[in-house]
Chain A
Amino acid sequence: MATVPKVEVGTDYKEKYGFFVPEEYVFKAKRGLNPEIVKEISWMKQEPEWMTNMRLRSLEIFRKKPMPKWGADLSVIDFENIFYYLKASDKQSKTWEELPPDIKATYDRLGVPEAERKFLAGVSAQYESEVVYHSLQEDLTKKGVIFTDTDSALRDHPELFKEYFGTVIPPADNKFSALNTAVWSGGSFIYVPKGVRVDIPLQAYFRINAENMGQFERTLIICDEGSFVHYIEGCTAPIYTTDSLHSAVVEIIVKKNARCRYTTIQNWSTNVFNLVTKRAMAYADATMEWVDGNLGSQITMKYPSVYLMEPGAKGDVLSVAFAGKGQHQDAGGKMIHVAPNTTSTITSKSISKGGGRTSYRGHIKIYPGANNCKSFVKCDALLLDDESRSDTYPYNDVDAENVTLGHEATVSKVSDEQLFYLMSRGIPRGEAETMIVNGFIEPFTKELPLEYAVELNRLIQLEMEGSVG
C-alpha cells in the first residue's frame, strides 16, 4: 500500500492485495512447533548458541503459559498446522531487479518500489520469514544510521543487539512474545546515532504469500540521544480459506531528547490472526509516538505501550480500528508513567460495521513517586449498524501525587442530522456515510504522510462498500 494509490472505487481487496503467487521456496520447514523446528530455524540462520538457547527456552515458556482469558477468542488457532519458517529467496537483494521474478512482481503490484523512489529514505521488504530486499539512502549510511533486517543485525552488530534484545519485552511477558522469541525471523533493526535526524520515513513492508503461514518478525529500534526517526510498516496477505498467524514483537528505546514515530497501516486479509506486542521506553524529554491503523485481519490484539522512564518523557498513541464482517479488532494502548513530570495521550477511533467488533483496551499506570504527571485518554466509537459491537476497557491506576488523569469515551451511530445534511445536497447515502467516517478518523489521517492518508481514505472507502476480503 506504500504507494500513490491506484485503487479504483469498487476494486476489491482481492485484486489489489489479496492475490497470491505460486509457492516456490528455498527452504520450507515442516508444519508444527517443536524444539527440532526451532533448532532448525536457528541453524539455518547460523546463530550464536545464546540465541538458540533463548529460542528453546522461549518455546518452553510459550508451552507453559495459558492463552489469555480476556479479549478475542483465540481457541481456534491450531499451532500445529502452521508453517513457522519459510525462506523464499536464498539471498537478500539490494535492487528490485535482483529479486526472484515472482517476488518482484508482488512488490511491483503493491507499488513498493515506486513509493521508494518517490518518498522513502529506506525500504525493507519481508516476504514470508525473511527480508528479501533492503535499501538505505547513502547519506544516512554515512551518518552512521543502521537500518537492516534483524537477522543481519545479530550477525553484524552483536554487541548492540545483545544489549537491548529482549530487555523491553522479555520472552515471558506474554504467550505471544514467548512464541515470537522462539521462532522469530526477519523484522527491522534500526539504530539512529546521537543527534542524527532521519527526516524522510523508513518503510518496512511485510507480506505473507503462503497458506497457513506464520510470520514472526522481530523489530528493534534504538534512537540515541537527540535523534529522530519515522518508521512506517505496512502489511498485506492473500485471502485463503484457512488461517495464517502474524505475531510480531517490536522493542523501541528512545533516549534523552530523541523522538521516534512508528506508523502502522495493518491491512492483513481477513484470514490472518494478528497478535502483536509493541513496547517502547522513553527517557528524559524523549517522545514516542505510535500511530496505529488496524483495518485488516480476522482478529487483532495489539496495545502499543510506552514506558515513560525519566522526567519530561512523552508518549502518544493514536489508534484507528475498523472491524467489518467477521472481524474483531481488540486494540488500544498503554502508558506506564515511571518518572515524575511525564505526559501521555491516547486517542482511539474505532468503527464497527456489518457485525464487526471493535474493542478499545488500555492501561494508564502512574507509579508511586511519578508525581505531577498528566495523562488523557479519548475513545470514540462509531457503530454503523445494529449488528455491530463496540467495547471500551480502560484500566487506570494512579499511585502518585498531583496527577491529572482523564478518560472519556463515547459510542454513537452516524448522526441522522449529518446524513440528512449531506443527502439533501444530492450525495448518495453510501458516499455520505463514507464521508462521515473519513471525517471521524481525520485526527488520525492528518498525522500520516500525504500519500498514506490518501491511501487510508481509499481503504476506508473499500471497507465501507463491503467489498473487502
Chain B
Amino acid sequence: MVSTEAPLEDLIFRGEPDWLRENRRSALESYQRLPAPSKTDEEWRRTDVSRLDPSAFSRFEKAPAHTTMATNLPKGVILESLPVAARDYAELVQPRLFSLAQAHRDRFTALQAALFTGGIFLYVPDGVEIDEPITGRHFSHESGTTVQPHTLIVAGKNSKFNYLDEYIAEHDDEAGYRSGSTEIFLGEGSQVGYVAVQKWGRNVWHFSDQRAELGKDATLRLFNVTLGGKFSKTRVEASLAGEGSNAELKAIYFASGEQFFDFHTLQEHRVGNTRSDLLFKGALQDVSRTVYAGLIRIEKHAARSDAYQANRNLVLSDKAKATSIPMLEIDNNDVRCTHGATVGPVDPEHLFYLRSRGITEATAKRMLIQGFFGDVLDRIPFEHARKLVEAELESRIG
C-alpha cells in the first residue's frame, strides 16, 4: 500500500508522459474553477454534497489494480495499468482518455481526470474473442484517504469479451473519497459484457461515471452493482453512435443504514436503428435514501430507435426514501419508446402466503427481496460475475 502526503506532482504525476501531466493540470484547474453543485441545479437538488470537502482527504492511495485472468491473453491484447499504458501506448490512450467522461462536466469528473490513480487499460484488437472474463480489482486500505481508479476499455472490430471491475475496501467502515469510473469504446460489431461491483467502505463519498460509446452493430451488456459508501453517485451513460448498436444497461442497488445512492442514466440514441434497454432495481431499508434520474434521448434523425427504461424500488422501511425520475426526450416519431417507474413495499399477499407456509417473517422478507432481484440478476452477462454478485447480495440481505 502506498499512501503519502508528498506533493501531488511527486506522488501521482511522476514518470507520466507530458501530455498526461498537462491534461491533469488542466483538469485540476477545471476543478478549482468549477462551482460547487448547488441545490438549484436539477441534478443536485436531492443530492447534497455541501458537507463534502474533497481536500479533507488529501492523502492518496495509489491503488494499483490487480488484474486476474484464468488463461493467458490472446496475442495483441493489452492489459496494463493505466499510467503505464499512457506511457507505452499513448497512441491508443491519449485520444480516448476522459473523452467520454469529460473533465469539465463538474467538479467531481474534473477531480477524477486530475488525480486518478492506478486504474486499468484494456485493449482487445479486431476480431479477438476472449472466453474467460477479465477481472480488475481495485482496493482501498485505510480511512481518510482518496482512491480514484479509472478503467479504459477499447474493443476492436468484432471483438468479444467480458470484463469485471470490483471496488473493494479492506475495512468495511472506511471513510474517505472514492471513485471508480470507466470509459468503454465499442468498435463495429464488438460484443462487450461489463460488470462493476462497488463495495467501498460504508462511510466513504463515492463518485463514478460509466460511459460507453457504441459503434455500428456493437452490443454492450453493462451491469452495475452498488453496495458501499455513505454517499454514492453513479452515472451510467451509453451513446448509441452506430446504426444497429444495442445497449443493455442494468443495475441493482441495496441501500441500508444511512446510505444515500444517486444514479443518473442516459440512453443517447444518436443514430437510427438502435436499441437500448435499461432496468435499475433497488431495495431500501432503514433510513437509506436513493435517487434515480434517467433520460432516454432520441435525436432528430434516429429513426427506428427502440428504447426501454424502468426503475423499480422496493421500500422495506418507513424511514427510507426513494426518488425516481425517468425522463424522455423524443425528437423523432418513428420510434418505440416506453418507460416506467415503481416504488412499493413488499407485497403483503406474498408475505402472507409465505407466512402461512410456516416461514418466519424475516426469512419470508429475505426470500421476497431475493425474488425481487431475481429477474435482473439473470441478466448479469457472465457466470463468474453473477456468482459473485449473488453471494455479495446474500450476505447483505441476510
Contact = CB atoms under 8 A, between A and B. Distances in A.
B3 interface: no
A419 to B, nearest CB: 13
A408 B330 contact: no
B337 interface: yes
B345 interface: yes
A417 to B, nearest CB: 14
Interface stretch (A19-27, A73-81, A271-279, A386-394): A386-394
A412 B317 contact: no
Contacts of B340: 406-409
B343 A396 contact: yes
Nearest to A374: B344
B333 A394 contact: no
A386 B323 contact: no
Given A389-B331, A403-B315, A411-B330, A395 B323 contact: yes
A381 interface: yes
Contact of B327 (A383, A393, A404): A393
Contact of A407 (B46, B324, B330): B324
A393 B295 CA distance: 9
A442 interface: no
B320 to A, nearest CB: 8
A91 interface: no
A70 interface: yes
A385 interface: yes
A402 interface: yes
Contacts of B318: 368, 371, 400-402
A391 B329 contact: yes
A15 interface: no
Given A396-B323, A397-B323, A391 B344 contact: no
A369 B240 CA distance: 43
The SS class assigned to the B binding surface is strand
B314 to A, nearest CB: 11
Interface string B308-341: 0000010101110111111111111111111111
Contacts of B326: 392, 394, 407, 409
Given A384-B333, A395-B323, A403 B345 contact: yes
A386 B344 CA distance: 37
A316 B75 CA distance: 64
Nearest to A360: B328
- Interface residues on chain A, size class: 35 or more
A424 interface: no
Interface string A365-386: 0001001000000000101111
A410 interface: yes
A451 interface: no
A63 interface: no
Contacts of A407: 324, 326, 339-342
A408 B337 CA distance: 11
Given A392-B339, A398-B313, A404-B344, A386 B328 contact: no
B42 interface: yes
B332 A412 contact: no
Contact of B334 (A381, A402, A413): A413
B303 interface: yes
Most A CB within 10 A of own CB, among B40, B317, B333: B333
Given A394-B326, A401-B315, A401-B317, A70 B42 contact: yes
B344 A403 contact: yes
A121 B96 CA distance: 70
Interface residues of B, number: 35
A405 B344 contact: yes
A395 B315 contact: no
A398 B311 CA distance: 13
Contacts of B332: 383, 386
Contacts of A389: 329-331
Contacts of B333: 383-386, 388, 413
A392 B336 contact: no
A102 interface: no
B229 to A, nearest CB: 21
Nearest to A357: B331
A392 B40 CA distance: 20
Given A392-B339, A407-B341, A409-B328, A398 B334 contact: no
A368 B321 CA distance: 9
B44 to A, nearest CB: 13
Contacts of A381: 328, 330
A173 interface: no
A384 B300 CA distance: 14
B307 to A, nearest CB: 9
Contacts of B343: 396, 398, 403-405
Given A400-B318, A408-B339, A394 B334 contact: no
A410 B345 CA distance: 25
A40 interface: no
A406 to B, nearest CB: 5
Interface in A404-457: 404-413
A359 to B, nearest CB: 9
Nearest to A399: B321
Contact of A398 (B42, B321, B327, B337): B321
Nearest to A366: B343
Given A386-B303, A396-B323, A411 B328 contact: yes
20 contacts: A381-B328, A383-B332, A389-B331, A391-B327, A392-B326, A393-B325, A394-B327, A395-B323, A396-B324, A396-B341, A397-B46, A398-B322, A398-B324, A400-B318, A401-B315, A406-B344, A407-B342, A409-B328, A409-B339, A411-B328
The 6 A-B residue pairs whose C-beta atoms are closest, nearest first, are: A401-B318, A383-B333, A392-B328, A411-B337, A413-B333, A398-B343
Given A396-B324, A398-B313, A412-B336, 14 more contacts: A389-B330, A390-B328, A392-B328, A398-B315, A398-B324, A401-B317, A401-B345, A403-B343, A405-B343, A407-B342, A409-B326, A411-B330, A411-B335, A413-B334
Interface of B: 40, 42, 46, 300, 303, 313, 315, 317-319, 321-345
